Structure 1
Amino acid sequence: MATGWAGDGAVQDQIDATIKDGIERVRRQLAQGPGLERCEECDAEIPEARRKAVPGVRLCVSCQDAQDREAGAFSGYNRRGSKDSQLR
């Protein structure tokens, strides 16, 4: 059943494309190559266990946490929107 100008499955296609773009963005952010022994931000030692667990690690836990918080502050998606809130 077609509605308006959108073809059947257009909404699902848009959702799939959004997920695919998100996955590609995260994969591009993954570190490559050998990990560092010292954090590139604060020069603190990166423990061997972390270097083994996270290939290509470049930041200590504290700096990585700060970077993740900054990245999480901006989201290009409206996760709070609902159909009900859009009708008001």
Structure 2
Amino acid sequence: MAGGWSRDGAVQDQIDASVDDEVQRARSQLVSGESATHCEECDSAIPEARRKTIPGVQLCVACQSSLEKHETSHGGINRRGSKDSQLR
């Protein structure tokens, strides 16, 4: 159900585009290759179990958690341009 001047199915198209963008972003952040033995940020040792479980890991658990917390604190793109998103 679309409203205003938009065609039927436009809302679902926006939802699909948002999901596709997020999947693409997540895939672009995947690492591959050889895992580091020491964290790139704090230089602490990365446990062998973590290196084997996550191929290409470069950060220790603490630094990875901090990075993910920082990334999730930023809001996403609001494609609909609601008034609430414009007031932030």
TM-score (norm 1): 0.80
Identical pairs, percent? 53
Counterparts of 1:43 and 1:77, CA distance in 2: 34
| 1:1-88 superposed matches below 5 A | 3-77=3-77
Counterparts of 2:7 and 2:42, CA distance in 1: 52
Moved over 2 A (4+): 1-5
Q: Partner of 1:5: helix, strand, or coil?
A: coil
Gaps of 5+ in 1: 79-84
CA RMSD of aligned residues (A): 1.9
- After alignment, is 68-77 or 55-64 more displaced? 68-77
Q: What displacement does 1:2 show?
A: 6.8
Q: What displacement does 1:77 show?
A: 4.7
Gaps of 5+ in 2: 79-83
